[in-house]
A and B are shown apart, each in its own frame.
Chain A
Amino acid sequence: MMELRKTLTGRIALTAVATIILLFLALPIVVILVTSFSNNAFAAFPPEAWTLNWYKALFADGSKWPAALSLSALVAALSTVFSLIIGVTAATALTRSELPLRSAVFALVLGPLLIPQIVTALGLFLLFEPAAMLGSPIAIALGHTVLAAPIAVLILIATLRGIDERLEDAAASMGAGRLTIARKITFPLAAPGMIAAAIFSFITSFDEFYIAQFLSSVDTVTLPVRVYNSLTFEIDPSVTAVSALLTAFAILALGLVALVRWIGSGRQQSLLSVENTVGVANPGGDAV
């Protein structure tokens, strides 16, 4: 009885601590979302009155937010294209070929994710400054791709590893050529992973701050740099609305990734079940 009560108190204490830590993670975001609709955008919480003014101010005449938003969107779109090209080819090389120096290539891919972004940013600044490319969307996108491409490569490696190679073998045994297999089997199964890689590349570039800060010029700044400047040098309450939109965007993107993954897993399952009912040879033997 004593023992039971002890376990129960322990469990309650543990749950309470865990809840507080979860609040510690979630509250800043909740506070931003609520404050963006608050009449007083700086302190009082919970708000005394509600307003949509900060959202209206975003698109008012002379607002600097639309320019920053469109630059960030352009940069992120370019960076997504670069990352996908690099990601698809690199992941194919690392999973579907015999690559000499394989672990060296893999270490190179992990490099930008492990070393401080400020160091990468400084190096890129030294590269682009002499070329007079500061403030150029291409330069910022090329810089962001250094961070986004490794993430795309990792996601696509996981995707290609997850595709049951028996499906490709089965198609080959039925006389399909390499191109047909790529087009009709591998690509449709890899498509969800490619969409996920594209979304993560886009978010990585869209949110990136250190490289954008170094490669921006005075009059071309990306959205995160704009937000940072707004929080450091001036008082512009519509930054709450921008922050709330960025949050909504991140949550939406994550939801989209989850949805695409879920559809993708269903697709492979249905192909595999067709294979099993038809009774194609199963060399691995693990599904039986």
Chain B
Amino acid sequence: MAATLTAGAPARPRKLLASRRTRVGILYALPVVVYLLVLFVYPIFSTLFLSLRNADGSLTLHWYADALTGVNLSVLITTLRISAETALLSLVFGFLLANAISRLKPLLAGLAMLVVVVPHFVSALVRTYGWIIMLGDKGLVNESIPGGPYQLLYNELGVVIGTTSMMLPYTVLLLYGVMRGVDRRLLAAASSMGAGRVTIFRRIYLPLVAPGLASAGLLSFILSLGYYITPALMGGPNQTMIATLINQQVTKENQWNGAAAQGVILLVLTLAGLLLVKAVTSLGASRKKRSAT
């Protein structure tokens, strides 16, 4: 073995090095791969199997039929509705804020981004509690709006206010990145050719940021789907979301199969959303390339 190595052509040591680097790579990748296969992939597959089985172990689609009828169906519809409302609002607010920040001078922009990023790292429970205090009958908001008190908590309005503030940092960060990536020379070029501000916005700027808007909206929609801290604390019985239902079925009713079926439905919706994000992002990449040429 040693003899063949030393007798090898000059290309040989390089190949040996490559295989060493491969061996090192496999060895070092083992911990994360094994860990996630055992504690992430396997549990998700066991959820899938559980959702397809009766108590006696025979195959069934009963749990899916159950998850898509009656109260369970209305919870699913509520989840989709609240997620859509949240995504739309965080997209609008995110667009306005990211656009304003992208026009600021570096120092001010940095400070504004700090106000966006810091809340993101403060526990969602704490921020939700802050909203509950703020939106209560004698809270800051009701005290400063005349004609109240208005019912701002334990209804869909409260939930959507709360979840939007949780998703907003994601959309702002994403859109800020997209807006910074817009080539300002394109806008200047359009202006030099006599295009008005509205035309520039509609024909140049919007098409360039549109894929970013779509993926930011989809992302906040996906993240809202599996969320329940804020809806559970700020909503009423009509704002129960699918994640709350999964939790109740497991912890209160010991109904694992039903919970598993709902988990799989949530997973499928999320994966579909992620595929859409991927399609939209690659569309954006090709559009950007085209406008630059």
Chain B contact residues, majority secondary structure:
helix
Q: Which residues of A sit under 8 angstroms from B136, Cβ to Cβ?
A: 42-43
Given known A-B contacts A29-B130, A44-B138, A112 and B169 have beta carbons under 8 A apart: no
Contact B126 A31 (CB under 8 A): no
Q: Which among A30, A43, A44, A116 is the interface contact of B270 at CB below 8 angstroms?
A: A116
- Interface segment out of the listed B32-40, B62-70, B281-289: B32-40
Q: Which among B36, B101, B226 is the interface contact of A108 at CB below 8 angstroms?
A: B36
Given known A-B contacts A43-B133, A115-B270, A119-B266, A126 and B50 have beta carbons under 8 A apart: yes
Most chain B Cβ neighbours within 10 Å, of A22, A209, A251, A253: A22
Q: Which among A45, A116, A213, A253 is the interface contact of B140 at CB below 8 angstroms?
A: A45
A228 at the interface (CB under 8 A from B): yes
**Smallest Cβ distance from A279 to chain B, in angstroms?**
28
How many chain B residues touch the partner (CB < 8 A)? 82
Given known A-B contacts A32-B133, A118-B246, A251-B118, A24 and B41 have beta carbons under 8 A apart: no
Q: Which among B39, B47, B121 is the interface contact of A145 at CB below 8 angstroms?
A: B39
Which residues of B line the A interface, CB within 8 A? 18, 21-22, 24-33, 35-37, 39-44, 46-47, 50, 93, 96-97, 99-101, 103, 112, 115-119, 121-134, 136-140, 143, 165, 168-169, 225-229, 232-233, 243, 246-247, 250-251, 256, 259-260, 263, 266-267, 270-271, 274
Q: Which among A27, A30, A231 is the interface contact of B129 at CB below 8 angstroms?
A: A231
Q: Which residues of B sit under 8 angstroms from A117, Cβ to Cβ?
A: 226
Q: Which among B22, B126, B251 is the interface contact of A247 at CB below 8 angstroms?
A: B126
Contact A97 B36 (CB under 8 A): no
Of the A-B pairs whose beta carbons lie under 8 Å apart in the complex, a sample of 10, sorted by A's number, is: A27-B140, A32-B130, A43-B133, A45-B143, A89-B29, A111-B40, A123-B43, A126-B256, A231-B233, A250-B121
Contact A126 B127 (CB under 8 A): no
User: Nearest 7 pairs between A and B by C-beta?
Assistant: A116-B226, A123-B43, A28-B130, A97-B25, A18-B100, A93-B28, A99-B25
Most chain A Cβ neighbours within 10 Å, of B36, B41, B260: B36
Given known A-B contacts A22-B112, A45-B133, A89 and B31 have beta carbons under 8 A apart: yes
**Smallest Cβ distance from B222 to chain A, in angstroms?**
8
Query: Interface digits, A13-44 against B, CB 8 Å rule (1 contact, 0 not)?
Result: 01101100110111111111001000000111
Q: Which residues of A sit under 8 angstroms from B35, Cβ to Cβ?
A: 82, 86, 145-146, 149
A176 at the interface (CB under 8 A from B): no
A140 at the interface (CB under 8 A from B): no
**Smallest Cβ distance from B184 to chain A, in angstroms?**
16
A54 at the interface (CB under 8 A from B): no
Given known A-B contacts A17-B100, A93-B24, A32 and B263 have beta carbons under 8 A apart: no
How many chain A residues touch the partner (CB < 8 A)? 78
Give the complex CA separation of A35 and B131 in angstroms. Answer: 12
Given contacts A43-B137, A116-B243, 14 further A-B contacts (CB under 8 A): A30-B130, A32-B126, A93-B29, A96-B24, A98-B21, A109-B36, A123-B40, A142-B39, A145-B39, A149-B32, A149-B35, A231-B125, A231-B129, A246-B123
Which residues of A line the B interface, CB within 8 A? 14-15, 17-18, 21-22, 24-32, 35, 42-45, 82, 85-87, 89-90, 92-94, 96-100, 105, 108-109, 111-112, 114-120, 122-127, 142-143, 145-146, 149, 153, 203, 207, 209-210, 213-214, 224, 227-228, 231-232, 239-240, 243, 246-247, 250-251, 253-254
**Smallest Cβ distance from A65 to chain B, in angstroms?**
14
Most chain A Cβ neighbours within 10 Å, of B35, B96, B134, B266: B35
**Smallest Cβ distance from A88 to chain B, in angstroms?**
9
Q: Which among B25, B121, B243 is the interface contact of A100 at CB below 8 angstroms?
A: B25
Give the complex CA separation of A259 and B117 in angstroms. Answer: 16
Q: Which residue of B lies closest to A17 (CB)?
A: B96
Q: Which residues of B sit under 8 angstroms from A207, Cβ to Cβ?
A: 123-124
Contact A123 B47 (CB under 8 A): yes
Q: Which residue of B lies closest to A243 (CB)?
A: B126
Q: Which residues of A sit under 8 angstroms from B169, Cβ to Cβ?
A: 25
Given known A-B contacts A109-B36, A143-B39, A25 and B22 have beta carbons under 8 A apart: no
Give the complex CA separation of A96 and B226 in angstroms. Answer: 36
Given known A-B contacts A14-B99, A21-B97, A28-B165, A118 and B228 have beta carbons under 8 A apart: yes
Q: Which residue of A lies closest to B140 (CB)?
A: A45
Q: Which among A35, A92, A142, A149 is the interface contact of B133 at CB below 8 angstroms?
A: A35
Contact B124 A209 (CB under 8 A): yes
Give the complex CA separation of A146 and B125 in angstroms. Answer: 21
Contact A29 B24 (CB under 8 A): no
Q: Which residues of A sit under 8 angstroms from B25, Cβ to Cβ?
A: 93, 97-100
Q: Which among A14, A97, A119 is the interface contact of B28 at CB below 8 angstroms?
A: A97
Give the complex CA separation of A92 and B29 in angstroms. Answer: 8
Contact B47 A119 (CB under 8 A): yes
Contact B22 A125 (CB under 8 A): no
Most chain B Cβ neighbours within 10 Å, of A87, A93, A214, A227: A93
Most chain B Cβ neighbours within 10 Å, of A43, A123, A209, A231: A123
Q: Which among B39, B118, B232 is the interface contact of A127 at CB below 8 angstroms?
A: B39
